[in-house]
Amino acid sequence: MERGSIEADDRALLHADCARCAALCCVLPPFAASADFAIDKPAGRACPNLAADDRCGIHAQLAERGFPGCVAFDCFGAGQQLVQVTYRGRDPRAEPGAAEVLDAMRQVSELLWYLSEALTRPAAAPVHPRLTAARNRARALRDAGAAELAALDTGGLRREAGVLLREVSELVRAELPGPRRDRSGADLLGRDLRRADLRAACLRGAYLIGADLRGVDLRGADLLGADLRGADLRGADLRDALFLTRPQVAAARTDGATVLPAGLG
Ligand code: SF4
């Protein structure tokens, strides 16, 4: 099997499969009332909108009812992994500490998504051995027990992977046309960026909430962790953008003219 096929298999597992879960994301995590959630909810208590059949009772009106965070949320397959593997045969909702285990599993799964994507980039070949080691560790952690996951230093894991993914970003973007501006962590909240040249830009961790990116050329831009809530991406070109995820796309405004990276369309 080719390398690309192997990585595609990894990412194919990293999708929420609610039919194989038990509504864990509606029970285990705490919510704070905010623009994303209309209510406060403590960890381990079922959301009042959760119906007896473990389906969301307001699924068709989530945004209108003040729950856009639920529209954008994606567990990267962590929920079904807890139900089917970590707690096999036991209901995670009845297990102490399961909220922390779900959070750790989600973070590991998200990292696995990024590492798997990085391994598909030919320009990142110089760091493929380190990427492979990090990817294998993340794979093994997905199969770890609840106690190991609960004790996991997720912050340390993310920092380590972040260094590696930055190297990947630099290697990949160095081969692409564009000014390759570094706007990492920039506060671009609500900005009109329609005239900005963001080809191969580094926008990791940038605050793009409500930014106007209509028709912008974002090919090859690094969007790792960029906050795209309410960003207007109608007609924007994001092909080959690095480290873009489904939750980021779901939180933004897109249309049929938005060009997304393969696998996110
Ligand atoms: S509003 Fe619906 S999707 Fe969101 S947590 Fe509650 S039941 Fe789940």
Is the CB–ligand 1 distance for residue 50 below 6 Å?
Answer: yes
User: Based on the domain organization, do 65 and 168 belong to the same domain?
Assistant: yes
Residue 7's pLDDT is: 52
* Rounded (to 5) percent helix, strand, coil in the chain: 40, 5, 50
- Taking the CA atoms of residue 251, residue 252, residue 257 and residue 263 in that order, the dihedral angle to the nearest 10 degrees is -40
* Structural contact between residues 37 and 69, judged by C-beta atoms closer than 8 angstroms: yes
Residue 13's pLDDT is: 83
For the CA of 51, the closest atom of ligand 1 is: 7
Separation of CA 121 and ligand 1 centre (Å): 36
User: Based on the domain organization, do 77 and 103 belong to the same domain?
Assistant: yes
Is the CB–ligand 1 distance for residue 67 below 6 Å?
Answer: yes
Count Cα neighbours of 129 within 13 Å in the Cβ-side half-sphere.
1
- The span from the CA of 87 to the CA of 228, in Å, is 34
Separation of CA 229 and ligand 1 centre (Å): 18
- The span from the CA of 56 to the CA of 117, in Å, is 31
Residue 1 domain-assigned (yes or no) = no
Instruction: Using the Cα atoms of residue 133, residue 138, residue 144 and residue 150 in order, give the sign of their dihedral.
Output: positive
Residue 137 domain-assigned (yes or no) = yes
- Does 2 have pLDDT greater than 70? no
Instruction: Using the Cα atoms of residue 16, residue 130, residue 133 and residue 103 in order, give the sign of their dihedral.
Output: negative
Residue 214 domain-assigned (yes or no) = yes
pLDDT tens-digit series, residues 120-154? 999 999 999 999 999 999 999 999 999 999 999 99
Could you tell which of 21, 47, 73, 74 is best to mutate to test the pocket of ligand 1, judged by most ligand atoms within 8 Å of the CB?
Answer: 47
**Average pLDDT of the residues in 5-24:** 80
pLDDT band at 89 (very low <50, low <70, confident <90, very high): confident
Separation of CA 4 and ligand 1 centre (Å): 35
Q: What CATH number should be reported for the domain holding residue 188?
A: 2.160.20.80
Last residue in a domain, options 174, 202, 236: 174
- The span from the CA of 234 to the CA of 255, in Å, is 5
Return the number of other C-beta atoms located less than 10 Å from residue 235's C-beta: 16
The residue whose C-alpha atom lies closest to atom 1 belonging to ligand 1 is 49
High-pLDDT (> 70) share of the chain, %: 96
| The Cα angle at residue 123 between residues 5 and 127, in degrees rounded to 5 | 85
For the CA of 55, the closest atom of ligand 1 is: 7
Residue 5 domain-assigned (yes or no) = no
- Taking the CA atoms of residue 32, residue 35, residue 36 and residue 41 in that order, the dihedral angle to the nearest 10 degrees is 20
Is the CB–ligand 1 distance for residue 70 below 6 Å?
Answer: yes
Is the CB–ligand 1 distance for residue 37 below 6 Å?
Answer: no
pLDDT tens-digit series, residues 207-256? 999 999 999 999 999 999 999 999 999 999 999 999 999 999 999 999 99
Residue 91 domain-assigned (yes or no) = yes
pLDDT tens-digit series, residues 157-198? 999 999 999 999 999 999 999 999 999 999 999 999 999 999
Separation of CA 47 and ligand 1 centre (Å): 6
Could you tell which of 67, 71, 75 is best to mutate to test the pocket of ligand 1, judged by most ligand atoms within 8 Å of the CB?
Answer: 67
Using DSSP's 3-state secondary structure scheme, residue 154 falls into helix
Q: State which residues form the domain around 208.
A: 178-260
Last residue in a domain, options 174, 209, 233: 174
The residue whose C-alpha atom lies closest to atom 8 belonging to ligand 1 is 26
pLDDT band at 12 (very low <50, low <70, confident <90, very high): confident
What's the domain count of the chain? 2
For the CA of 58, the closest atom of ligand 1 is: 2
Could you tell which of 21, 24, 26, 93 is best to mutate to test the pocket of ligand 1, judged by most ligand atoms within 8 Å of the CB?
Answer: 26
Residue 161 domain-assigned (yes or no) = yes
Residue 109 domain-assigned (yes or no) = yes
Residue 127 domain-assigned (yes or no) = yes
Nearest to 113 by CA among 264, 245, 232, 206: 245
